[in-house]
Amino acid sequence: QQQVKQSPQSLIVQKGGIPIINCAYENTAFDYFPWYQQFPGKGPALLIAIRPDVSEKKEGRFTISFNKSAKQFSLHIMDSQPGDSATYFCAARAGTASKLTFGTGTRLQVTL
């Protein structure tokens, strides 16, 4: 029940495309859903996060869509660029300052 399932495992899009990464969860106690971007040899960096009382959040080219009834959330990257090539992890947390449970990651490659 603590798992966060993430798909796809890898994704290749052309520059300007809109990659979409999906995550699903079971634990209804989760109250915070961040997305992290990770480059090789680096730590995860917070990209954008959402709480379950909103259905969508946009920050720059990154958008989270959240469907509370389906227990699913997704990351959309608008106008993707080669510099967006990285591994993306969704995560979830149940309660203030509690641990993050990560998805399995999506390796995104944006080609020219």
Partner 1 sequence: EPEVTQTPSHQVTQMGQEVILRCVPISNHLYFYWYRQILGQKVEFLVSFYNNEISEKSEIFDDQFSVERPDGSNFTLKIRSTKLEDSAMYFCASTSTGMGNYGYTFGSGTRLTVV
CA distance 22 to 35: 11
**35 touches 88 (CB < 8 A):** yes
24 binds partner 1 (CB under 8 A): no
Sign of the torsion formed by the C-alpha atoms of 21, 25, 31 and 37: negative
106 binds partner 1 (CB under 8 A): no
Cβ proximity to partner 1: between 84 and 89 the closer is 89
DSSP state of 41: T
Cα–chain center distance at 53? 17
Q: Which stretch binds partner 1 (CB under 8 A): 22-30, 68-76, 78-86, 100-108?
A: 100-108
98 binds partner 1 (CB under 8 A): yes
Picking from 52, 14, 15, the residue whose alpha carbon sits closest to that of residue 34 is 52
CA distance 64 to 107: 18
Q: Which stretch binds partner 1 (CB under 8 A): 37-45, 57-65, 66-74, 77-85?
A: 37-45
User: Smallest gap, in angstroms, from Cβ of residue 22 to partner 1?
Assistant: 15
19 binds partner 1 (CB under 8 A): no
Q: What residues make contact with partner 1 under the rule CB under 8 A?
A: 32, 34, 36, 41-46, 49, 51, 89, 91, 96-105
